[in-house]
A and B are shown apart, each in its own frame.
Chain A
Amino acid sequence: MGAGAKAFYHDDAVVFAGMFQAVKKAGKNSSVFRAIAWVLSWILSTDHKRVGILYFVAMFSFFSVAVSLGIMMRLELFQSGQQFFEPKTYNAMFTLHGVIMTFLFIVPGIPAIFGNFLLPLQLGAADVSMPRLNLASWYMYIIGAIMAVVSLFSNGGAPDGGWTFYAPYSIQTQTNVSLALVAAFTLGLSSIFTGMNFLTTIHRLKAPGMGWFDMPLFVWSLYATAWIQVLATPVVGITLLLTVMERTLQIGIFNPSLGGDPVLYQHMFWIYSHPVVYVMILPAMGVISDVLPVFARRHIFGYKAIAYSTMAIAGSGYFVWAHHMFTSGISDVARLVFSFITFLVAIPTAIKIFNWLATLYRGSIQIDPPMLWALTFLFTFSIGGLTGLALGAVVTDIHLHDTYYVVGHFHYVMFGGGGVGMFAALHHWFPKITGRMYNFFHAKVSWFFFFVGFNMLYFPMLILGVMGMPRRYHDYLPQYDFLNSVATIGSWIMVFGILYMFANLLKGLLSGEKAGSNPWNAKTMEWETQSPPVLHNFEKQPKMVHGPYDYEGEWVK
């Protein structure tokens, strides 16, 4: 954060307090020590709000790197024939784009930034249950991120073969895959720490009078997410370690020439990595459930249905992974069973969508920027979800597997869902986090550019995929020229929109008007304290006196 945030946050909750105080004392006379003390007051702080902001800074730095890689890939694909990059470079680029976007951005995602910042606030607690572990999770994230970056430039060359690291290619390639795998393992640890912390916090630190069904739905989504983080991440952890051992020790487990079975790798990888798709999307759904009622001035329709469907999505997410493997030679029975369970996931998802629509019905809708982003989520995520049905059915999946249709589909879900949800959260809680407000007009204009560019970029991919254009190649046949050019131009418009949006938010941070404690007149508990909140959040322990969505005054306790 820039200088604007300097004044707000307390320096008290630091680990290694003695060291910090010494530097602070030395800083009385020296601007250098003052700067060091300021940095230390952030990176040693166990205050959940600061940890959240640390995550924000780190994650969006990596996000910008991955976006640049994406732009470069689109430049290469502007026309058929080789434009700028060698095939090998292109392979490394899409792997890095995938690794960074998945492991460094969208998996920590909303929980790491907004979960850390908001969870204790929404529960009326002073901090998370294990504040030091919380800070440690950020350090694990940074260590993992550094390893991922080092793997690019160290001997062997940047990892290739995609973010899924499928065996046996990943155990044969000479590029620096091992370090990237260890990096992903470390990032997994960071994610586990966050999950453990959130689960314990939600179980133990709800404000007096707050029952399970008085929690904001964002908290419910974090709860479901944390279960997945705790119980699914270790599977991929051991899988990645086995792959590292395969590369270094030749244990044979994933190596067909020693009797191993690469399909087992895919099973173990997706047992985790499918549930983690819900780690990416569930918190975004939670954000939408919190934003819509505020700007429709209505209580959320079907609170319990949304809460239960959140848990149902998390639970069923464990049993659908094999739909990533329909073309990998698994048995027909497995394809049938997993295809069927996959369709079941559509039910809780649809329950949410219909409840959100019912919330809007007859509301007094105010199209402020957070609402605009939330409505965008409904639109883009619905496209993402509906295009997924064609991939859940075995018959169509055989045709569409590994085409651009899949790329278009998961960008609509991940970016149009998780990413847009994050932007909605950013605009909704910006005044709470910084204490200032951004310019609405510019926020809406930047949204417009994003929305147009986004659909220009990803919708042609769906069509190209149906036409048969395969993914992960640096070149294609001339018949795909037109739509690829459209997509590339769309990528420019979208990135312009993102830059515009961040410029506007930065201006708001530095010189926006004071926002006050509750600019949206919202009912959840984080708006009851000042903006930005003090250390330990509340002057005195808040009590539950009205529901989180009590806009029509019918909450009875």
Chain B
Amino acid sequence: MGSHEQSHDHDHHIIGYGTHLVIYFGLLLLTGLTVAVARVNLGELNLWVAMLVATFKAALVILYFMHMKYEHKLIQFLFVIALLALFLPYGAVFIDYLHR
């Protein structure tokens, strides 16, 4: 693992204005969607749908606005570790709460 990290052929990938605009309109669309869906009463499902849409938006922001898609492998790898460390312990709290 050590050597390929330092052999940095980082190409300083530049994303064009056009891509940014496409992503931006996608984000606006999803915002509209989440507001619209919230007006329909789905009961329990409302929370999950809202979270799903938000996660789509978050993915767009991370992958394109935050460059993650074009990023150095090391940064991508560390990001996955951080997400796991974020969600697994927080999820484990509910082992307690759901069985009280």
Chain A residues with CB under 8 Å of chain B are: 203-204, 206, 210-212, 214, 227, 231, 263-264, 267, 271, 318-319, 321-322, 330-334, 337-338
Contacts of B1 in A (CB 8 A): 211-212
Nearest B residue to A231 via CB reads B85
Measured in the bound complex, the distance between the Cα atoms of B51 and A365 in whole Å is 61
* Residues of A contacting B86 in the complex (Cβ-Cβ under 8 angstroms): 231
Main secondary structure of the interface of A (DSSP, over half): helix
Given contacts A203-B74, A318-B88, contact A211 B3 (CB under 8 A): yes
Chain A residues near B97 (CB-CB < 8 A): 331
Q: Does B93 contact A (CB under 8 A)?
A: yes
A206 adjacent to B2 (CB under 8 Å): yes
Check B2–A210 contact: CB distance below 8 A. yes
> With the chains together, A309 CA to B85 CA distance in Å?
18
How distant is the Cα of A203 from the Cα of B97 in the complex, in angstroms? 38
Which residues of B have CB within 8 Å of A319? 88-89, 92
Indicate if the CB atoms of B89 and A271 lie closer than 8 Å: yes
Complexed CA–CA distance, A231 and B81 (Å): 10
> Known pairs A212-B2, A322-B96, A330-B96. 15 more at Cβ < 8 A?
A203-B5, A206-B6, A210-B2, A211-B1, A211-B2, A211-B3, A227-B85, A263-B96, A267-B93, A267-B96, A319-B89, A332-B99, A333-B99, A334-B95, A338-B95
19 A-B residue pairings within 8 Å (CB atoms): A203-B74, A204-B5, A211-B2, A211-B3, A231-B86, A264-B93, A267-B93, A267-B96, A271-B93, A318-B88, A319-B88, A331-B95, A331-B98, A331-B99, A331-B100, A332-B99, A334-B95, A334-B96, A337-B95
Contacts of A338 in B (CB 8 A): 95
Chain B, interface residues (CB within 8 Å), range? 20 to 34
Please name the residue on chain B nearest to A317 by beta carbon: B89
Chain B residues near A (Cβ < 8 Å): 1-3, 5-6, 74, 81-82, 85-86, 88-90, 92-93, 95-100
CA distance A550 to B43 in the complex (A): 65
Q: Which residue of B lies closest to A330 (CB)?
A: B96
User: Do A331 and B89 touch across chains, with their CB atoms under 8 A apart?
Assistant: no
By a CB distance below 8 angstroms, the chain A residues around B90 are 271
Q: How far is the CA of A206 from the CA of B5 in the complex (A)?
A: 11
Q: Inside 8 A of B82's CB, which chain A residues have their CB?
A: 231
The complex places the Cα of A161 from the Cα of B72 at a distance, in Å, of 48
Q: With the chains together, A175 CA to B97 CA distance in Å? A: 32
Q: Which residues of A contact B85 (CB under 8 A)?
A: 227, 231, 318
**Neighbouring B residues of A334 by C-beta, 8 Å:** 95-96, 99
